[in-house]
Amino acid sequence: MKIYDKLYINGAWVAPHGTGTMDALCASTEEVATRIPEGIAADANDAVAAARAAFESWSKTPVASRVEFLEKIAAGMEARKQDVALAIATEVGMPLKMAGAIQASLPIGAARTYAELLKTYQFEETVGTSLVVREAIGVVAAITPWNFPINQIMLKVAPALAAGCTVVLKPSEVAPSTAFILAEVLHEAGLPKGVFNLVTGYGPVIGEVLASHPDVDMVSFTGSTRAGRRVAELAAQTIKRVALELGGKSPHVILEDADLEKAVKAGVNECYLNSGQACIAPARMLAPKSKYEQVVQLAKKVAESFSVGDPINGDVKLGPVISAVQRDRIRGYIRKGVEEGARLVTGGPETPEGLDKGFYVKPTVFADVNNEMTIAREEIFGPVLTIIPFEDEADAVRIANDTIYGLGGNVWAGTKEHGIEVAKQIRTGQISVNGGRYNPLAPFGGYKQSGLGREAGKFGLEEFLEVKSLQL
């Protein structure tokens, strides 16, 4: 068991004001993996005070110095890559090889991306007779989730530091280790005291203090739509900027002229990534009625090829989900799907054979689903795919858009041009055409109840900047 007994505030590891602790479990063994401090309001207030005191000096730091720090952060995270991958496999449940390739690599890339962007970014421009200046917004509260913990942290911390902001981070208490690894890296990089602060604790305590604090200028939150509403409500009292990256129920649209085998395989693989614990998981597969049963059988075959087991020592494609609460919630949705009349093609609510210990869920596929069913409307956050038939392309677009969410999506078509034509009609923040890969320079964020603002690339940097006009 790894024990962290201090918080990182004002450039030092300090004892918390309270005496409580919180335990994060190993997802595959159900044993305590990590113990961290249960911070209280006084800890959050100390962190905000440190960030506020450091802001004036840090915001005036030359761009070249901020670039140098970001490069040091990238190098430090590269050196700790194996530690990060093991922490993810242990606490989150993603298989170790995959955790190294994805979860431990993305934050390194993000730090490097912002170092490069910063070298050429124009903080000033002339518009008519005015000089338009972009300045750091101030103290940023970053509240992050457990499913891609260090990636979501770095997508906030790196651009905030690049912009000249100071940061107070509250990571998820369910998967906290990577936040402590980052704090260690930042300390070793010699980041000035108060520029980055780490406070762990429960959302209703630490999160609420940060979202409502009058000395916090911006709150950047990634998590559930329900919690996002609360963050926005609290932040509104002091009219601070709010960036929200929330839930999703993304469509995976397979058109008549698509390569069915490629399209289905890609859809199942993406839906089950990280055991389905991804906000952009394409959990609704939309298939033309003329080829519906073919799609269902292909999805069944792919789903049943997923090996389930130990994410640390096993050579598997699917590990456990993060907690008993999540496992039971997902199994409840599977039972609900059966109750509402969906056809269970493979999987189910039972414990996978031989895996009585750990938070495992069978990779599950439902067919004969309509878009009014609970499993088609609500974010399940597990390895559960629903396959919905459509009549024609207009019907496919209608179904794809018939959701409160708008975070991600995919379109598969016979040609890229055809895919783009349909993708433009789907109201979502990002959409992949024929398997287009994730682009770290492209904006990431949602429409509708999937959030406000954008992360990644220059769009993510500009979230942390205020715009000032100097009339000359």
Which pLDDT tens digit goes with each residue over 409-466? 999 999 999 999 999 999 999 999 999 999 999 999 999 999 999 999 999 999 999 9
Residue 346 lies in a domain: yes
CATH number at residue 166: 3.40.605.10
Q: Are 102 and 198 contained in the same domain?
A: yes
Q: Please check whether residue 251 is in contact with residue 410, taking contact to mean a CB–CB distance below 8 angstroms.
A: yes
Catalytic, 245? Answer yes
Q: Are 179 and 311 contained in the same domain?
A: no
Residue 57 lies in a domain: yes
Strand arrangement, sheet containing 410-412: 343-346, 364-367, 384-390, 284-288, 251-254, 410-412, 432-433
pLDDT at 392 over 90: yes
Sequence-ordered list of residues with C-beta below 8 angstroms from that of 130, at least 6 positions apart, any chain: 469, 470, 471, 472
What was the pLDDT predicted at 169? Answer: 98
What was the pLDDT predicted at 154? Answer: 98
Distances (CA, A) of 422 to 74, 254, 400, 402, 451: 38, 11, 11, 15, 23
Residue 444 lies in a domain: no
Q: What does the pLDDT average to over 235-246?
A: 97
What mean pLDDT, rounded, does the chain reach?
97
Q: Please check whether residue 431 is in contact with residue 446, taking contact to mean a CB–CB distance below 8 angstroms.
A: no
Q: How many folded domains does the chain comprise? A: 2
Q: Are 199 and 281 contained in the same domain?
A: no
Q: What does the pLDDT average to over 220-245?
A: 97
Q: Please check whether residue 207 is in contact with residue 244, taking contact to mean a CB–CB distance below 8 angstroms.
A: no
Which stretch of 157-161, 170-174, 438-442, 464-468 has the lowest confidence by average pLDDT?
Answer: 438-442
Q: Please check whether residue 17 is in contact with residue 38, taking contact to mean a CB–CB distance below 8 angstroms.
A: no
Q: Are 221 and 327 contained in the same domain?
A: no
pLDDT at 76 over 90: yes
Residue 360 lies in a domain: yes
Given the residues 38, 245, 270, 379, the one annotated as active site? 245
Catalytic, 271? Answer no
Given the residues 270, 279, 379, 463, the one annotated as active site? 279
Q: Are 239 and 271 contained in the same domain?
A: no
pLDDT at 294 over 90: yes
Q: Are 204 and 258 contained in the same domain?
A: no
Q: Are 344 and 212 contained in the same domain?
A: no
Q: Please check whether residue 180 is in contact with residue 155, taking contact to mean a CB–CB distance below 8 angstroms.
A: no
Taking the C-alpha atoms of residue 150 and residue 115, their distance in angstroms, rounded to an integer, is: 18
CATH number at residue 326: 3.40.309.10
What was the pLDDT predicted at 314? Answer: 86
Taking the C-alpha atoms of residue 331 and residue 95, their distance in angstroms, rounded to an integer, is: 21
Residues paired with 270 in a beta bridge:
none
Residue 394 lies in a domain: yes
Residue 235 lies in a domain: yes
Taking the C-alpha atoms of residue 331 and residue 336, their distance in angstroms, rounded to an integer, is: 9
What was the pLDDT predicted at 11? Answer: 98
Q: Are 132 and 239 contained in the same domain?
A: yes
Residue 259 identity:
D
Q: Are 279 and 156 contained in the same domain?
A: no
Q: What does the pLDDT average to over 339-361?
A: 97
Q: Please check whether residue 204 is in contact with residue 211, taking contact to mean a CB–CB distance below 8 angstroms.
A: no
Q: Are 133 and 148 contained in the same domain?
A: yes
pLDDT tens digits, one per residue of 299-329: 999 999 999 999 999 899 999 999 999 999 9
Name residue, tokens 């739509």: 225
pLDDT at 65 over 90: yes
What was the pLDDT predicted at 204? Answer: 95
Range of the domain at 373: 251-439
Q: Are 353 and 324 contained in the same domain?
A: yes
Taking the C-alpha atoms of residue 9 and residue 7, their distance in angstroms, rounded to an integer, is: 6
How much of the chain, in percent, has pLDDT values that exceed 70? 100
Residue 50 lies in a domain: yes
Q: Are 413 and 375 contained in the same domain?
A: yes
Residue 43 lies in a domain: yes
Sequence-ordered list of residues with C-beta below 8 angstroms from that of 44, at least 6 positions apart, any chain: 168, 170, 199, 201, 205, 206, 209, 210, 213
